[in-house]
Homo-oligomer: A and B are copies of this chain.
Amino acid sequence: MTVTTPQGFRSAGIAVGLKSTGKPDLALVVNDGPAPASAVVFTTNRAQANPILWSRKVAQNGPVRAVILNSGGANCFTGDFGYETTKLTAEAVARELQDPTADHVLVCSTGLIGTGDQTFRDKIVNNVPQLTAALSSDDTTAPAAILTTDSVEKTEVHEGAGWTIGAMAKGAGMLAPGLATMLVVITTDALLDGDALDRALRVATGASFDRLDSDGCMSTNDQVTLLASGASGVTPDEAEFAAALAGVCDSLASQLQADAEGASHDIDIEVRGAASIEDGMEVGRSIARNNLFKAAIFGNDPNWGRVLAAIGTTEAAFDPYQVDVSFNGVRLCHAGAPDRPVEDCDLTPRRTHVMLDLFSGEHTVTIRTNDLTHDYVHENSAYSS
């Protein structure tokens, strides 16, 4: 159980033929209340898929009743026909749920951009009755149905005092700030209003998904949805709920990092001594997006020179000749010069910790990324074929 661990939710996942493998590819999460509330964050990419265009409107219409998600096609840049497909999908869900309007139904899609033809539409819309018929309050099938190139399901549960949070996520590439290429649905039976949910969600995603930068590529389809049913009748302390939600998002971000396409190292870049959070983010991302650094990690080479070359392109406050750089706890560069020999550092473990101290302030930011590998190139050069 995941999104149905909290009371007041049903979900389902079925196969409708969008994936050539025949694996499940259509999921639905329904919020049965009794006090539905919701918050949603979307990709900041200006190139937005039809489900994003639709769901942005839905998010402004009050509590979301249901989220339908498909893998096997992004329905992005598919023109007016694609937008109509999204609308027809939401309408089909509303009809089956006997909700008077489709305006409370979010739609999420993931897969190849440009995919969204008549066949795609028919497979989704015509199978909504079968999907709603499969809804269950102890469902375990939804998390698999949203996966694309993911190798494992990503789920998380948090047990509060009389309330719970459940979550599922998909994402394995195109992971970058402003969110990753990911779809996330988080449910809770806590009794909270939309404003409280929105505050908690923005803080949580800002500290988790927005600091995950696997390959520097931002998606057109990202959507993170938080649904509250109120079914527990318990209103948690807002800070306590926010901390729990942040923990759930952090866990999911870590799972996304660990399953990133083709990666052989999960790299946490910890930037200490930053003058501001923004500076720490900029410095961390400049490293996370540097292909030479990423390829070096793949080769188990603690190439601190590439770290310094990367951060030198930023406008953050620091003196490049006063920075310390450590790999897996071994300080290799001190004050702009070699410190310990690189042979002292072992990069063979998958988990990799790069720490740099800018000596410019009190802020610390950790950016999660992955290495650049042959498998990454292979998976992303052969994806659409």
Contact = CB atoms under 8 A, between A and B. Distances in A.
B216 A309 contact: no
Interface stretch (A33-41, A235-243, A298-306): A298-306
A13 B336 CA distance: 31
B220 A289 contact: no
Interface stretch (A60-68, A70-78, A203-211): A70-78
Contacts of A374: 374, 377-378
A245 interface: no
Q: Which of A219, A373, A380 has the most CB of B within 10 A?
A: A380
Contacts of A216: 289-291
A119 to B, nearest CB: 14
A380 B47 contact: no
A126 interface: no
Interface stretch (A158-166, A182-190, A193-201, A310-318): A310-318
A363 B227 CA distance: 46
Contact of A377 (B113, B178, B298, B314): B298
18 contacts: A46-B311, A47-B309, A47-B312, A77-B304, A77-B336, A77-B338, A113-B305, A113-B308, A178-B313, A216-B290, A218-B309, A219-B309, A291-B376, A296-B381, A299-B381, A374-B377, A374-B378, A376-B377
A329 interface: no
Contacts of A298: 377, 381
Given A47-B312, A295-B380, A74 B305 contact: yes
A217 interface: yes
Given A173-B292, A296-B384, A309 B377 contact: no
A173 B81 CA distance: 43
Main secondary structure of the interface of A (DSSP, over half): loop
Contacts of A304: 77, 113-114
A140 interface: no
Contact of A313 (B46, B79, B383): B46
B301 A381 contact: yes
Given A295-B380, A296-B380, 15 more contacts: A45-B312, A47-B312, A48-B320, A77-B305, A77-B321, A77-B338, A113-B309, A114-B305, A114-B333, A218-B312, A291-B380, A296-B381, A298-B381, A299-B381, A301-B384
A312 B46 contact: yes
Nearest to A47: B312
Q: Which 5 A-B pairs have the closest CB atoms?
A: A113-B305, A47-B312, A299-B381, A79-B337, A295-B380
Contacts of A134: none
A372 interface: yes
A174 interface: yes
Contacts of A303: 113, 384
